[in-house]
Amino acid sequence: MFDNKEDFKKTFALRLEERYGRSVEDSHITERYDILGEMVRDYAGAHWRVCREQLLKGNRRQLIYFSMEFLIGRLLTSNMQNLGIFEVAKDGLAEMGIDIGELEDMEADAGLGNGGLGRLAACFLDSIASLGYPGHGNTIRYEYGFFRQKFVNGKQVELPDQWLSNGFVFEVRKPKHSVEVKFYGHAETYLKANGEYALRTVNATCVRAVPYDVSVPGYRNGVANTLRLWSAEPSESNLPSDQNFEDYLNTLKELCHGLYPDDSTEHGRMLRLRQQYFLVSAGLQSCMRSYFNRYHTLDGIEKAYVFQLNDTHPILAIPEAMRLLLDEYGYGWDDAWNIVTHLFAYTNHTVMPEALEKWPVRYVQQLVPRVYMIIEEIHRRFNLFLNEKKVSDAARYNMQIIKDGQIHMTNMAIYVGYSVNGVAKIHTDILEAYTFKDFYELFPSKFNNKTNGVTHRRWLMYANPRLASIIDERIGEGWHKDFEHEIHKLLAFKDDEATLNAIMEAKAENKKDFASFVEKAYGIEIDPTSIYDVQIKRLHAYKRQLLNVFHIMYLYTRIHEDPSFHMVPHTYIFGAKAAPSYAYAKKIIELILAVADVVNSDPLVSPFIKIVFVENYGVSLAEKIIPAADLSEQISTAGKEASGTSNMKLMMNGAITIGTLDGANIEIADAAGRENEIIFGLTAEEVQRMVDEGTYNPWAIYNSDERIKRVLDGLFSGPWAKGDANRFRMIFDELMNQNDQFFVLADFDAYCKACEAADAFYEDKKAWARACLINIGGSGKFTSDRTIEEYNRDIWHLAKMDV
């Protein structure tokens, strides 16, 4: 490809001429971006080839990571950095009069994910490749992503995320690897040539699943893995005879239209199920076909592959694998079962039983009837096993795979999979003690914890080059590859005034950059010397953005009514999308925007408080916000957040956590020291006790705390209601008439005191800077490299590539 700046310039100019018939000077910015993207993709292609050849030659064990989302963000910069060609490209382009930053801004965030689940999967892919392990992601090539969020008249509006409108330069379409996925139809018995009876699916609707592969280069190690995106196209040989072609095409378009279809309708729920089956069937067929073509059997495939199921969405992979082995490859049940029970590992991401996926029996019966037959047989055999173990009736009921007309997907995954992991210590403890207590007693060896992590390369090295440079100067560059064991060396400088000043100066510059962005993007002037108080995460009631905005509403009233009140100026920064059908979450967004409108225009309050709710929050916006953040809001109800990952990214960049003892906050406080975070609120045990005993009464708090009464009454009569007493009634009703499910009012007083403590802490500049450094130096545990090494040690057992 190119080894130096001169080679780069020649190749770039030649490709522009060959592809677009233009010189560098005459080319358009979109053409320049395309050529640079192709060059980066092709540079990684050589690594791709070497790794693939090595895998095939040595029959190395590979990981397939099934996830409905991979929130990969932009790839251009991170891929160039990982490949070690960023500076060559930057300098070469500069000599041709091109600013690489302008080309970087041309790239759209890939519309392949939404929240922490997808960002975690993306971080994992980066770490797997950077550590040299053979591991590949599988998901759907969503044409319009989740949605593009726009605020119109103070409310969230969902628009299509047209991220593919200019193509996706990093993908390679591979039609020769396509497979056929079958929906509907029915199972029939037939006589095989050897005289045995077998089952097969007939009269099915066939869909051609075509893979688009995206290379995932490791950090300067010659390894390139794959993120495979499956796209639905018409079958080449099995077009439906009972459906006109236009309707058939519309069905296919729906499959890959967008992430997480609206589940408030039966059509939307069925579409979600179709997407899940499409993904896992395509991925499994591809792997099985590849293995069979090489060895003419599937014996031993469990030694060549491990499938990690990221949350409940891909669990249909388990009965589908059984179907393929039984119906397509002629295995008997026992031999197929022996393979499948050694193939799958499951990651749980929620402690809330109501969030564990269940599907109506009739949905699965209709959509994939043969798969449902296999689920029934798994269920029957599981009950025989429970009989043998003399399990109590209560425990048996809790563990049933099919009950009350529903298929409980997680119960099937725990029974069949060989590993079940939580994603933070408290999360795994709750799974074992409460959520899956009966399963844990039956299969204790299956359960393990793998605390989440984030890739420090994207979230510190590339997103925050000012801070990265300071760290390099103090401790060298060893942390680039070994963050877990090297970053702690920075702690030696926790009392070094020059280092503390340098870190705070870098933060100040990052804050100025973000202030400039906010003024340009939203027309809001914010004070870079104020506390940047950040809550960036999916909008859900348990994450308690409501607690944050209630506190702001309280401060607004206090500033107006108490002339002696003093507070450190804050810029409250929100970033969140609410699912289109989640009306309550959308109403909370509306409240935050309404409060922002009032506060930002109030001459008395705005010198102390500004609110910025960034529109269409995603990876690229996070890369602007996180390096500038002072305070990291991690205020979920204790016991409800599985782990969280924004807390880790913010910690790595020197933000102080204000949070509950929930998810990974506990481990963050342990790593940095409780004195360097601000911890408040009920514990998970206290919350659970109040739930079990039924002792919590939000009305008692409303009637005894004048601050809360004023805030809640303000939902009807405050300036944000704009004279409409019903505008925010939904929020009042959810809290007061649904018993404040997530204990917002119960933690309000403790949160107010924690915020006051944060202000006092911030005013002691040296102590604050010291805590920032300790957070950075203590964040080694939270690199996804550490998480992946633990997955591999305990679950995957992959060997590193020899490149």
Rounded Cα gap, residues 375 and 379, in angstroms:
6
- Annotated catalytic residue within 637, 645, 657, 660: 645
Closest CA to 184 of 164, 211, 167, 207: 207
Map tokens 């309550």 to a residue: 584
**DSSP, res 220:** S
In sequence order, the 6+-apart residues with CB closer than 8 A to the CB of 609 are 552, 555, 556, 559, 567, 569, 570, 572, 599
150 catalytically annotated: no
Q: Could you say which of 457, 649, 727, 786 is catalytic?
A: 649
Name the pairing type of β-strands 402-403 and 406-408.
Answer: antiparallel
Sign of the CA dihedral with 17 first, then 21, 25, and 30 last? negative
Distance CA 358, CA 269 (A): 11
Separation between Cα atoms, residue 724 and residue 717, nearest integer Å: 8
Q: Does 558 participate in catalysis according to the annotation? A: no
Q: Is residue 557 flagged as an active site residue?
A: no
CB 350 within 8 A of CB 543: no
Given the structure tokens 């599985």, which residue do they identify? Answer: 642
CA quadruple 357, 360, 363, 368: dihedral sign:
positive
Question: Do 291 and 305 meet the contact criterion of CB atoms below 8 Å apart?
Answer: yes
In this structure, the dihedral spanned by the alpha carbons of residues 87, 89, 92 and 96, taken in order and rounded to 10 degrees, is -130
The answer to whether residue 455 is catalytic is no
Exposure class string for 307-346: b at 16+ Cβ within 10 A, else e: bbbbbbbbbbbbbbbbbbbbbebebeeeebbebbeebbbb
Host H or E run for residue 151: strand 148-152
CB atoms within 10 A of CB 652: 27
User: Active-site residue 61, yes or no?
Assistant: no
Instruction: Determine which one of 274, 456, 507, 538 is catalytic.
Output: 538
| C-alpha distances out from residue 423 to 279, 413, 635, 645, 791, Å | 24, 16, 18, 10, 11
**Is the distance from CB of 448 to CB of 794 less than 8 angstroms?**
yes
Distance CA 597, CA 593 (A): 6
Structure tokens at 133: 């392990």
Residues 426 and 663: beta-carbon distance below 8 Å: yes
- Is 537 tagged catalytic? yes
Length of the chain: 803
Tokens (6 digits) for 526? 């914010």
How would DSSP label each residue in 550-618? HHHHHHHHHHHH-TT-----EEEEEE----TT-HHHHHHHHHHHHHHHHHHT-TTTTTTEEEEEETT--
Residue from 228, 543, 570, 727 carrying the catalytic annotation: 543
Which residues share a beta bridge with 269?
none
* Residue 612 to residues 69, 276, 570, 593, 607, Cα–Cα distance (Å): 27, 36, 11, 9, 14
* From 9, 119, 349, 427, the catalytic residue: 349
Query: Which residues have a catalytic role annotated?
Result: 349, 537-538, 543, 645, 649
